[in-house]
Amino acid sequence: MRKLLALPILAAIVWSGWWVVAQQGITRGIDTWLQAREGEGWQAEAEVATRGFPLTLETRLTDLALADPDTGLAWNAPVFSFTAAAYAPTRVTATWPETQTIASPFERIEIRSQTMQGFLGLVPGPNLALDDSDITLEHLTFASTAGWTAALASGSLVTRRLDEDPLAHDIRFATRDLEPAAPLLRIIDPTGLLPQVIAEMTLEARVAFDAPWDRRAIEDRRPQITRLELEGASARWGDMALDAAGSLTVDPKGTPEGRITIRATNWRDMVAVARASGSLPEGIADTLERGLEILAGLTGNPRTIDAPLSFQNGFVSLGPIPLGRAPAFVIR
């Protein structure tokens, strides 16, 4: 009988010891990381505490302040927490505060949210590479010291690292009712042709990087895209719709090479917006519109264009129409 009673007591002692070791390991690990960043010239401050005995490990970082001197980016949050079951400490639920700020050398942005929470699956080990994630956003607002505001009704981001290629991730992203900043709207649409809210945007892609998304992505450099397989992307803004699919390779300088097939519905409205914003000079806009009329005629629907967006030698063209230099795919 004593032996039977001793077993649960021994199990409780072992479990308690494991929880204490895990709790101390998390707290010390974060403190060590913050001290290492300070040694590199960062601002890296937070009060760290881990609780939740006996079943969970709940870590709270209070008065969190991070600032990278190389990029000039800074993040401040009154509290940031992540929770994991004690038996699976690398399967984490992260919760952001209702109010936080991101700053750059040019502006400071206050972010308010009803919900900003995500599940993160990390690969066990010292670098904690991202394995999968599922992040939910609800009722976000952005207010900048530069004088603009923006809002998002809802959004979601789901990622999964590929077993066959650990540097590649399947990514699913969606937003609903995105209200861009007023200064951006005035640049894009100075004559008010478009509604103030972008109804929806979606993205499904497989993206390969030159390094894993782990702790070194924060400490050293952001991983850069090497390959993009766009399964589908779409945007709906007023009566305009844009859909795209295709694949690109990206060199170390961020120059893309490849082809994305696009379908543009109500493309004349897109040209009118570009013409009104000044992003297309009048003469070029006329030439582009005539070329697009020919492309639309090939589809049998004058409102819709189906054409390849080709990236080659640092330039981009839509079908036979050259559009200029290709944008650089660089993550700062």
Rounded average pLDDT over 158-179: 96
Counting the structural domains of the chain, the total is 1
Q: Higher confidence at residue 176 or residue 188?
A: 176
pLDDT on residue 71: 84
Residue 279: inside a domain: yes
Q: Which long-range contacts (CB under 8 A, 24 or more apart) does 287-294 make?
A: 288/321, 291/319, 291/320, 291/321, 292/267, 292/318, 292/321
Residue 270: inside a domain: yes
Q: Are the C-beta atoms of residues 131 and 153 closer than 8 Å to each other?
A: no
Residue 17: inside a domain: no
Give the confidence band of 3 by pLDDT, cuts at 50, 70, 90. Answer: low
* Longest pairwise C-alpha distance within the chain: 95
Tokens of 186: 């005035």
Give me the DSSP letters along 301-318.
-TTEEEEEEEEETTEEEE
Residue 214: inside a domain: no
| Rounded-to-integer distance, Cα 135 and Cα 113, Å | 13
Residue 289: inside a domain: yes
Mean pLDDT over the full length of the chain: 88
Residue 309: inside a domain: yes
Residues 285-318 pLDDT 10s:
777 777 777 777 766 677 888 888 899 999 988 8
Write out the residue range of the structural domain in which residue 311 sits: 239-332
| Rounded-to-integer distance, Cα 46 and Cα 67, Å | 12
Residue 98: inside a domain: no
Rounded average pLDDT over 54-65: 94
In a 3-state reduction of DSSP, which class is residue 286?
Answer: helix
Residues 94-137 pLDDT 10s:
999 999 999 999 999 999 999 999 999 999 888 899 999 999 99
Rounded average pLDDT over 65-69: 93
Residues 262-277 pLDDT 10s:
898 887 887 777 777 6
CA angle 306, 310, 313 (to 5 degrees): 170
Residue 204: inside a domain: no
